[in-house]
Amino acid sequence: MGLQVVWLKRDLRLEDHAALTAAARQGPVALLYVFEPSLLARPEIDASHVAFVLGTLAALEQQLAERGVALWVELGEVVDVLDRLHHQHRFEALYAHEETGLFVTWDRDRAVARWARRTQVSFHEYPQFGVFRPHPSRDGWAERWERRMRPGPLPVPEIGGPPRSPRDLPRLEDLGVAPSLKVDGPAPGRGAGVELLDSFLERRGRRYASEMSSPVTAVESCSLLSPHLAYGTLSMREVRQASGRRREAALARKDADWAGSLDAFEARLRWHCHFIQKLEDEPELEFHNAHRGYDGLRNEAPLDAWSASERRRLRAWIEGRTGYPMVDAAMRHLHRTGWINFRMRAMLVSFACHHLWLHWREPAVALAAHFVDFEPGIHFSQFQMQAGTTGINTPRIYNVLKQAEEQDPEGLFIRRELPELEGVPNAYLPCPGRMPTDLQRRTGCKIGRDYPPPIVEHGTAMSAARQRLEGMKRRPELRAEAERVVARHGSRKSPTGAPRSTPGAPPRASHSRRRRGSRTLT
């Protein structure tokens, strides 16, 4: 048989890889990864994302070298790269996983499908997660998800291919990408992902259910697997099955702590795919409100048309200079590591959209670049839920003072990320701007010099946002659209435990390219 090419996207592994397994059955295989200039230029994409991919490709190349199989790493737009490689190698089939990504990658996938038809190269796509394409209805979704997770993970197939020609992987500078500023980012590669999964299931996850909300304890008790799921060094199915085995063992020992924590963890694996399914079914959620009745609630103009006040608020939020330490510490932690727990993410979004009353789109783009585990389907769907623009979820306006008091009562997280607040007493740490002048002098933290004053008055901003959102919910003309959103995107109660609602985890495309409908390649 002729050469088969496996196009790697966000599925950087050999294990449980449906596209690779199918290709290996047909003949010799080459694996291809393409760094796309149009994607690298997107404001959602950060050097930390590219560095994670490069580190993972280095580990993958080592696995392939042991098998004598080629890994082609190219720079260029995918159709151009495929065209050139096809002329050189005359491969007969292209295999890939489906991707629910940015709209630019959806356009790219459609272009690849057209190229394959034109060149008579057969193009085969396989599901990557528990996300369904095409997707007929939300009814029964949770049961379909469980069925997809049930079969055992696919083993690494026996693969052969064209001789491997040793070639150095590109560096960030070769790709035109500046070095990453995240000094404590996650370790790339499947080995690092497996190690995290094992340590979570053997030790770290025991108190997951009770410790995942605080940034003080989450770094130890959360799985930290999100970058590895986002880039596919681990498959969703193998993580779900490994957790299920550990949970069954805990139940057999009557270990309620472990079983409860793993129940909570597995619920979030379902939510992972539940939210990606939303973007799969309606790609425009990257750009517009899920409930169109909320259009105009906030300023939807492009950033360069925002007022000076709006741009100042956005900049202070991005830089961690809002005057509210829990917000600023969470943001600076992200700047340093590229990861933070879900509650802190939700709080950051809530503060930007409610306290600062900014439209969700610009903050979403900014945080996408800071999340090393950026997963578009989860990201934009969750942003809209937290911003209150779905029309079907009760808006959660996080009290940032209460979050500091409850999730960091001793100020361990805040003082680690904001050393300028080291001398501030715990009683004033949620809002140092309330310190009397003489206490500021004694603690060596002068507000306006060492730490900014509050960018908005907390209580007033919360109250104004709540009144605006409650006013929207009372408008009877919005109910029909809310019913459409529920029918298309709402979760359904199921015996498997999938939730009815979630408790709490780029250049702009032109309007002419925003298409309605699910992602069915044509």
Confidence of residue 1 (pLDDT cuts 50, 70, 90): low
pLDDT number for residue 221: 98
Which helix (H) or strand (E) segment is 325 a member of? helix 325-337
Identify the bridge partners of residue 124 per DSSP, sorted by sequence position: 95
pLDDT number for residue 25: 95
The rounded mean pLDDT for the chain is 92
Position 518 pLDDT exceeds 60: no
pLDDT number for residue 172: 96
Per-residue pLDDT of 461-486, as tens digits, reads: 999 999 999 998 888 888 888 888 98
Which helix (H) or strand (E) segment is 252 a member of? helix 236-252
Q: Quick one: average pLDDT of 97-101? A: 97
Position 150 pLDDT exceeds 70: yes
pLDDT number for residue 66: 86
CA distance 312 to 357: 12
Q: Can you read off the two tokens belonging to residue 372?
A: 């090393």
Which helix (H) or strand (E) segment is 29 a member of? strand 29-35
434, with CB counted inside 10 A (0-12, 13-18, 19+), is middle
Which 3 state secondary structure label does DSSP give 105?
helix
CA distance 432 to 325: 8
Per-residue pLDDT of 327-361, as tens digits, reads: 999 999 999 999 999 999 999 999 999 999 999 99
DSSP 131-187: --SS---STTHHHHHHHHH-SPPPPPPP---SPP---PPPPTGGGT-PPP--TTPPP
* CA distances for 502 relative to 189, 213, 274, 341, 492, angstroms: 30, 15, 10, 15, 11
For residue 415, what are the contacts with CB-CB under 8 A and spacing of at least 6?
421, 422, 429
pLDDT-above-90 percentage for the chain:
84
Q: Quick one: average pLDDT of 135-149? A: 91
Q: Sort strands 71-75 and 29-35 into parallel, antiparallel or unpaired.
A: parallel
| Torsion, CA 286, CA 292, CA 298, CA 304, rounded to 10 | 50
**Phi, psi for 35 (deg, rounded to 5):** -85, 115
| Helix (H), strand (E) counts: the chain | 22, 5
Per-residue pLDDT of 225-273, as tens digits, reads: 999 999 999 999 999 999 999 999 999 999 999 999 999 999 999 999 9
What residue has token string 């790219």?
A: 108
SS (H, E, C) 195-231: HHHHHHHHCHHHHHHHHCCCHHHHHHHCCCCHHHHHC
The conformation of residue 355, written as its DSSP 8-state character, comes to I
Q: Quick one: average pLDDT of 135-161? A: 92
Contact 160, 28 (CB under 8 A): yes
Q: For 371-411, where are the alpha helices, taking DSSP H only?
A: 376-387, 400-407
pLDDT number for residue 502: 32
Contact 413, 336 (CB under 8 A): no
CA distance 394 to 396: 6
Q: Which of 45-54, 62-71, 81-90, 423-432 has the lowest mean pLDDT?
A: 62-71
Position 505 pLDDT exceeds 60: no
Q: Quick one: average pLDDT of 295-308? A: 95
pLDDT number for residue 497: 42
